[in-house]
Amino acid sequence: MKATFLYGAGDVRVETVADPVIQQKTDAIVRVVRACVCGSDLHPFHTRKPGPVGAPMGHEMVGVVEEIGSEVSTVKRGDLVVATFTYQDNTCVFCQEGFHTSCLHGGFYNKPEIGGFQAEYARVPQADGSLVAVPGVDENSELLPSLLALSDVYLTGYHAAHMGRVGAGKTVTVIGDGAVGLSAVLASKRLGAERIILMGRHQSRTDLGREFGADEVVAERGEEGVARVRELTRGEGSHVVVEAVGHFPAYQQALGSVRVGGTISRVGVPQYSEAPIGWGSLFSRNITLTGGPAPVRAYIESALKDVLDGSIAPGRVFDRVIGIDEAAQGYSAMDSRESLKVMIAF
């Protein structure tokens, strides 16, 4: 099969490798129908040190089950499924408490022994907890982009809003006009936010953000951006600030934009290890800091109903479709901001 590997910063290659096989009784083999490039894939795309062995890439996927291990019972051969971006058993104590990304028997893709989803076939460990069948939908459906968004990007935005306790009467500021930020706008609207401010400067993206539910767009960054948010909120700041970028300046903007007693919810994969949390930043203003990797499995069944009945169309974040042989161009297009989010069709 063809699969995508990252050998070093900017060095994306598509290679022919052996098809995956069942290794554990809880595995499934899935033929990939749609995959995509994630904003978080760009972090190693910028920083990975060159080496002789490439990292398998991709953690978002919709596909068709080809084979199952003897202990798999929730999906069967021929099912169209959405794969969550982590694998988990959905039964351990942390899964039961809603934090599937910390599953005692789970983990992350993109490791040599696991593989990635930017490939023609994928091995999915803990298939019962990691694959969700989509009834009545086939691999030619127009819903595939929105189903793919449930694998990670939309539900990461939803997680940010959920952890920030977005609801009626709340003003929400979303920092970042990437696919996760726009998903957080859509999710915040879905959860009943009274007012949504989107901080971004790419008009094609912020226009989609307005369609998803943003009431105002703030193009300024840094201190100017914070001042504008303060101006829009009578100097008080936002009840919830979603940080969907992952870089330290975005965290600083969040600190400046959140109101007393408010919440900063981070879902941008942090590219920094230290940040102010003391008296002058969080403590004195009773600010809550929350967020983390999204437990997609906790939310996917509810969101799946919303996609199937047409209540939401999160797949609108995909603005370019490529084939597997064009994977390197897909990374470059997202890195240069020529594309919001690239989908790979098989």
Tell me the per-residue pLDDT of 100-157, one tens digit each, with 9 for 90 and over.
999 999 999 999 999 999 999 999 999 999 999 999 999 999 999 999 999 999 999 9
Per the DSSP assignment, residues forming a β-bridge with 108 are 86
Report the pLDDT value the prediction gives residue 103, as an integer from 0 to 100: 98
153: left (phi over 0), alpha (psi -120 to 50) or beta: alpha
Q: Which two tokens stand for residue 71?
A: 């202990």
3-state secondary structure of 61: strand
Report the pLDDT value the prediction gives residue 30, as an integer from 0 to 100: 98
Report the pLDDT value the prediction gives residue 228, as an integer from 0 to 100: 98
Q: Answer for the pair 206, 231: CB distance below 8 angstroms, yes or no.
A: no
The alpha carbon torsion through 164, 166, 169, 175 (nearest 10 deg) reads 70
Q: Which two tokens stand for residue 54?
A: 């490439």
Report the pLDDT value the prediction gives residue 240, as an integer from 0 to 100: 98
Q: Which two tokens stand for residue 58?
A: 């991709």
Q: How confident is the model at residue 176 (pLDDT cuts 50, 70, 90)?
A: very high
| Percentage of the chain exceeding pLDDT 90 | 100
Report the pLDDT value the prediction gives residue 284, as an integer from 0 to 100: 96
Q: Which two tokens stand for residue 246?
A: 């992952």
Dist CA 12 CA 23 (whole Å): 27
Strands (E), the chain: 2-8, 11-16, 28-36, 55-56, 61-68, 80-83, 86-87, 107-108, 121-124, 131-133, 171-175, 195-199, 216-218, 238-243, 258-266, 288-291, 320-322, 342-345
Report the pLDDT value the prediction gives residue 224, as an integer from 0 to 100: 98
Q: How confident is the model at residue 343 (pLDDT cuts 50, 70, 90)?
A: very high
Place of tokens 């903007």: 253
Q: How confident is the model at residue 335 (pLDDT cuts 50, 70, 90)?
A: very high
203-212 and 179-190 helices, crossing angle to 10°: 20
Report the pLDDT value the prediction gives residue 100, as an integer from 0 to 100: 98
Q: Answer for the pair 216, 236: CB distance below 8 angstroms, yes or no.
A: no
pLDDT tens per residue, range 240-270 = 999 999 999 999 999 999 999 999 999 999 9
Per the DSSP assignment, residues forming a β-bridge with 29 are 67, 123
Report the pLDDT value the prediction gives residue 318, as an integer from 0 to 100: 98
Q: What is the mean pLDDT of the chain?
A: 97
Closest residue by Cα to residue 257 from 291, 233, 286: 233
The arithmetic mean of pLDDT across residues 299-306, rounded, is 98
Report the pLDDT value the prediction gives residue 171, as an integer from 0 to 100: 98
Place of tokens 């398998």: 56
pLDDT tens per residue, range 267-290 = 999 999 999 999 999 999 999 999
Please tell me what DSSP assigns to residue 18. Answer: P
Total residue count of the chain as it appears in this document: 346
Report the pLDDT value the prediction gives residue 45, as an integer from 0 to 100: 97
Closest residue by Cα to residue 99 from 267, 246, 296, 244: 296
Dist CA 26 CA 55 (whole Å): 24
179-190 and 153-163 helices, crossing angle to 10°: 50
Dist CA 313 CA 320 (whole Å): 16
Q: How confident is the model at residue 217 (pLDDT cuts 50, 70, 90)?
A: very high
222-232 and 248-257 helices, crossing angle to 10°: 30
Q: Is the pTM of this model over 0.85?
A: yes
